[in-house]
C-alpha cells in the first residue's frame, strides 16, 4: 500500500481489530466494484482504494439501523464512495479552481450520504483528483501543446479502450458494467441474467487479459 498516508494506515490497522469487522465481511463485495471504478478513472492504486473503501464500509456498518427503509447495500455505497473520494482529495495537490466549480462541489459535498447522479459523481471525482479542472485557457495562451503527463494519460486510456474491444464479449461487458459504469456485481449479474459469481469470474478474466495487453503495448 505505497500510496496510503500514515493516518489511513492507522485507521485500517484499528478497524482490523474492531468489533464491527465480522459484520463487514459479508458485504466486502460492495467495495471492489466502486474501487475499480475510481481506480480506472483516477489512475490511483486499486489496492489502496479497496483498503480505503473498507473504511467507508465499516462506517456504514456502524451507522446502519435495521429499521431503515433502504437495504444495507444502498446505504453503504455512498459511504464507500465518500471514503474513496475523500482519499482522492487528500492525494491531490492544491490547485486554484473557478469559484463556480468550488460552489458546485460544496453543494454536492453537503449531500454526502445521498445517491448522486453520474454527472455529479464525475464532478466530485475530477475535483478531488484535480486533473481536469486546471485553467486550460491560461495554459493554451502560452502553448498549444498538452502537458506530457496528460498526453500519456490519454494514450493509456485510448490503449485500454482499444484492448477492451478485443476481449470476448462477456468479459468486455463485465468490465464496462463494473469498472466503467460503477455497477455492483449483483446489478451487473441481474442485467446479464447470470449469477454475481459468474460476473466476478468474467471480470477477473477480462482484467487479466487487459493487463497483459497493456503491458505488451
Statement: residue 138 has pLDDT above 50 = no
Higher pLDDT, 23 or 70: 70
Dump pLDDT digits (tens) for 115-128: 666 556 656 656 65
Please state which architecture CATH assigns to domain 140-216: Orthogonal Bundle (1.10)
| CB-based contact 131:157 (threshold 8 Å) | no
Alpha carbon dihedral 164, 136, 182, 203, in 10-degree steps, equals 20
Quick one: pLDDT band at residue 195, thresholds 50, 70, 90?
very high
Q: Please give the mean pLDDT across all residues of the chain.
A: 71
pTM: 0.46
In the chain, where are the structural domains located? 6-134, 140-216
pLDDT of residue 180 exceeding 60:
yes
**pLDDT greater than 90 at residue 193:** yes
CA angle (205 as vertex; 201, 210 as ends), nearest 5? 145
How many CB atoms neighbour CB 26 within 10 A? 9
Supply the pLDDT for residue 126.
60
Encode pLDDT of 39-95 as tens digits: 877 767 788 888 899 888 888 888 877 766 778 888 888 999 989 888 887 765 444
Amino acid at each position: 500500500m505505497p500510496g496510503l498516508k500514515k493516518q489511513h494506515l492507522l485507521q485500517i490497522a484499528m478497524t482490523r481489530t474492531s468489533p464491527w469487522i465480522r459484520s463487514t465481511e459479508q458485504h466486502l463485495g460492495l467495495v471492489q466494484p466502486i474501487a475499480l471504478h475510481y481506480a480506472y478513472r483516477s489512475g490511483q492504486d486499486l489496492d489502496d482504494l479497496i483498503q480505503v473503501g473498507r473504511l467507508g464500509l465499516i462506517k456504514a456498518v456502524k451507522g446502519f439501523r435495521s429499521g431503515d427503509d433502504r437495504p444495507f447495500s444502498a446505504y453503504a455505497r455512498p459511504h464507500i464512495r465518500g471514503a474513496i473520494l475523500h482519499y482522492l482529495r487528500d492525494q491531490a495537490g492544491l490547485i486554484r479552481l473557478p469559484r463556480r466549480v468550488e460552489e458546485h462541489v460544496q453543494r454536492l459535498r453537503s449531500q454526502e450520504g445521498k445517491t448522486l447522479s453520474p454527472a455529479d459523481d464525475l464532478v466530485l471525482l475530477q475535483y478531488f483528483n484535480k486533473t481536469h479542472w486546471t485553467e486550460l485557457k491560461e495554459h493554451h495562451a502560452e502553448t498549444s501543446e498538452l502537458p506530457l503527463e496528460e498526453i500519456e494519460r490519454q494514450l493509456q486510456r485510448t490503449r485500454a479502450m482499444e484492448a477492451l474491444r478485443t476481449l470476448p464479449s462477456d468479459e468486455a461487458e463485465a468490465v464496462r458494467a463494473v469498472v466503467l459504469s460503477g455497477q455492483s456485481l449483483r446489478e451487473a449479474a441481474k442485467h446479464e441474467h447470470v449469477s454475481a459469481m459468474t460476473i466476478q469470474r468474467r471480470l477477473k478474466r477480462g482484467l487479466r487479459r487487459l493487463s497483459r495487453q497493456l503491458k505488451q503495448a
